[in-house]
C-alpha cells in the first residue's frame, strides 16, 4: 500500500477562475451568488445562481477543439491544466500509461443536450436535423476522455456519476488505485455546468431551491442555490512526490462511502455518519484529530439538520469542538463538481491554517447547534479535515485529508 498525496490543484467556479482567486474569495467570506446573467429568466421563479464570471472559452481552446467541448468539459480541462501545472508532474517516460483520469459529473453535457432538444422539439415545429457533434459533446464521460487526450494519459479513464457525490466518488476511486498500486498517479476531479433554463426549471419544481440565497445551517434558510464549476487534483504516491521534489499540499488519507438504501431525496444521518466513520478508519485517524469538516451543507432544511445529526453520531463528544463550514454559501451547489471545488477548499484550509466560513449565516437554528464558522474565516492550524458529499438517492462519499 502507498500513501497518496495531492501535489496539484486546479479549480474554476463562481468565486474565482483559479485556485488563488477562488481561495481568496472564500477566505473573505464573500458569496458569489447573484441573479443569473446568462439564463433567460422571464419565466424563472428562482433567479439566483452562482455563475462563473469572465470566462471566455476562446481564450482557452482553439476554435476546432471548442466544437467538441461542452461547457462541463471546458471547465474540467481548465481546472486540470491548472492542477498539472501547479504539480509540475510530467506524464512522459511511461507515466501516462500508469496514470488514471477519473472525472465525476452529475449531468454531463446539459448545455449541449438542451440546445439539441430545443432544436428538435420546439413544440413540434422543430428541425428534423440534429447537430452532428451532440453525442460526443454531451456524453457523461466526455470530460474524462478530454483529460486523457490533453495529457496523454492512457491508464484507467472513466466518469463517475452519483449526483452530488460524483466528484468524491472520483477522488475515492483514484485514491484507491494509487494506494493499491493499480495506478502510479491520477488526475481526479469533478465538473458540472448545467445552469440552463431547463435544469433550473426542473430544480424549481422539486422545491429545494432558495429564492434569496444559500444560508447553510442558519435559521431562516430556504434551500440551495445552483452553481457551476470544476475542480481537479493531481494524486501521486508520497515517495514519488518526495523523489521529484514536488510541493505536497496534503495527504489524501482516507475515503468512505455508503448508500442509505432509503429515500430517493431525503437524507439519512445513519448513512452519512457511516461514510464519515469509514473515511476516518481508512485514514487511521481518531475522530479527535479532525479539526475541520467541509460540510455537504446544501442549505435545505432537511440536509443541514440531518448532517448535523450525522456529525454528532460519527464524532460523539468531539462534534462540538469541530469547525464545520459549508462553502456552498459562496460557490453554490456545484452538484457533480461540488466535492471537487470543496476538496480545494478543504485542502487549502489545511495548508494555510485558515477555515473558510459559512457565508450568509443569520441566526442559530435549534436543529443545527454546532460550530459552523459563521460569516468570518478563522485562523486555526488543523491536522486533518473531512470533506462530505451526500447525494440524492442516498449516496454518501467522504474524503479524509491530513497535513504532512
Catalytic residue among 164, 194, 250, 368: 164
Query: Is 296 considered catalytic here?
Result: yes
Query: Is 169 considered catalytic here?
Result: no
Instruction: Work out how close the CB of 224 gets to other proteins at its nearest, in angstroms, rounded to a whole number.
Output: 11
Summarize as ranges the residues that interact with other proteins (CB under 8 A): 45, 205-211, 222-223, 264-266, 301-302
Catalytic residue among 146, 169, 331, 333: 333
- Residue showing cell 479549480: 11
Nearer to other proteins, 44 or 404 (CB): 44
DSSP code at position 244: T
Nearer to other proteins, 210 or 235 (CB): 210
DSSP code at position 383: S
Nearer to other proteins, 221 or 237 (CB): 221
Nearer to other proteins, 45 or 288 (CB): 45
Instruction: Work out how close the CB of 191 gets to other proteins at its nearest, in angstroms, rounded to a whole number.
Output: 28
Distances in Å between the Cα of 228 and the Cα atoms of 171, 190, 244, 262, 269 are: 19, 11, 34, 28, 27
Query: Is 164 considered catalytic here?
Result: yes
Instruction: Work out how close the CB of 326 gets to other proteins at its nearest, in angstroms, rounded to a whole number.
Output: 18
Instruction: Work out how close the CB of 42 gets to other proteins at its nearest, in angstroms, rounded to a whole number.
Output: 13
Measured torsion, CA atoms of residues 23, 27, 30, 33, in degrees rounded to the nearest 10: 40
Query: Are the C-beta atoms of residues 390 and 272 closer than 8 Å to each other?
Result: yes
- Residue 385's nearest CA partner among 245, 252, 190 is 252
For the chain, counts of helices (H) and of strands (E): 13, 14
C-alpha cell at 279: 473515511
Alpha helices in 263-371 (DSSP H): 269-283, 301-315, 328-331, 338-352
The set of catalytic residues is: 164, 296, 333
Amino acid at each position: 500500500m502507498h500513501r497518496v498525496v495531492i501535489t496539484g490543484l486546479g479549480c474554476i467556479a463562481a468565486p474565482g477562475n483559479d485556485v488563488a482567486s477562488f481561495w481568496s474569495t472564500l477566505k473573505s467570506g464573500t458569496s458569489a451568488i447573484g441573479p443569473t446573467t446568462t439564463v433567460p429568466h422571464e419565466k424563472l421563479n428562482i433567479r439566483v445562481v452562482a455563475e462563473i464570471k469572465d470566462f471566455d472559452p476562446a481564450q482557452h481552446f482553439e476554435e476546432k477543439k471548442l466544437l467538441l467541448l461542452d461547457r462541463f468539459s471546458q471547465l474540467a480541462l481548465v481546472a486540470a491544466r491548472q492542477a498539472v501545472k501547479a504539480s509540475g508532474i510530467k506524464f512522459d517516460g511511461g507515466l501516462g500509461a500508469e496514470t488514471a483520469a477519473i472525472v465525476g459529473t452529475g449531468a454531463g453535457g446539459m448545455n449541449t443536450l438542451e440546445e439539441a432538444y430545443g432544436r428538435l422539439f420546439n413544440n413540434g415545429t422543430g428541425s428534423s436535423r440534429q447537430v452532428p457533434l451532440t453525442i460526443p459533446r454531451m456524453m457523461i464521460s466526455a470530460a474524462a476522455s478530454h483529460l486523457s487526450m490533453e495529457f496523454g494519459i492512457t491508464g484507467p479513464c472513466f466518469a463517475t456519476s452519483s449526483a452530488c457525490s460524483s466528484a468524491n466518488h472520483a477522488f475515492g476511486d483514484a485514491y484507491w488505485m494509487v494506494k493499491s498500486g493499480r495506478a502510479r498517479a491520477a488526475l481526479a476531479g469533478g465538473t458540472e455546468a448545467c445552469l440552463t433554463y431547463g435544469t433550473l426549471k426542473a430544480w424549481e419544481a422539486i422545491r429545494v431551491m432558495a429564492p434569496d440565497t444559500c444560508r447553510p445551517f442558519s435559521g431562516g434558510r430556504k434551500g440551495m442555490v445552483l452553481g457551476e464549476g470544476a475542480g481537479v487534483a493531481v494524486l501521486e504516491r508520497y515517495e514519488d512526490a518526495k523523489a521529484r521534489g514536488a510541493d505536497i499540499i496534503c495527504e489524501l488519507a482516507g475515503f468512505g462511502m455508503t448508500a442509505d438504501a432509503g429515500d430517493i431525496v431525503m437524507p439519512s444521518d445513519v448513512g452519512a455518519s457511516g461514510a464519515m466513520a469509514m473515511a476516518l478508519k481508512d485514514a487511521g485517524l481518531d475522530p479527535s484529530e479532525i479539526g475541520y469538516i467541509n460540510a455537504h451543507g446544501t442549505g435545505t432544511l432537511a440536509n443541514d439538520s440531518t448532517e448535523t445529526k450525522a456529525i454528532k453520531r460519527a464524532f460523539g463528544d468531539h462534534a462540538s469542538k469541530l469547525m464545520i463550514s459549508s462553502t456552498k454559501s459562496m460557490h453554490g451547489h456545484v452538484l457533480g463538481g461540488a466535492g471537487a471545488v470543496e476538496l480545494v477548499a478543504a485542502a487549502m484550509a489545511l495548508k494555510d491554517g485558515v477555515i473558510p466560513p459559512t457565508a450568509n449565516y443569520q441566526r442559530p437554528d435549534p436543529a443545527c447547534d454546532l460550530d459552523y464558522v459563521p460569516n468570518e474565516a478563522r485562523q486555526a492550524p488543523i491536522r486533518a479535515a473531512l470533506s462530505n458529499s451526500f447525494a440524492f438517492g442516498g449516496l454518501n462519499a467522504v474524503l479524509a485529508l491530513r497535513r504532512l
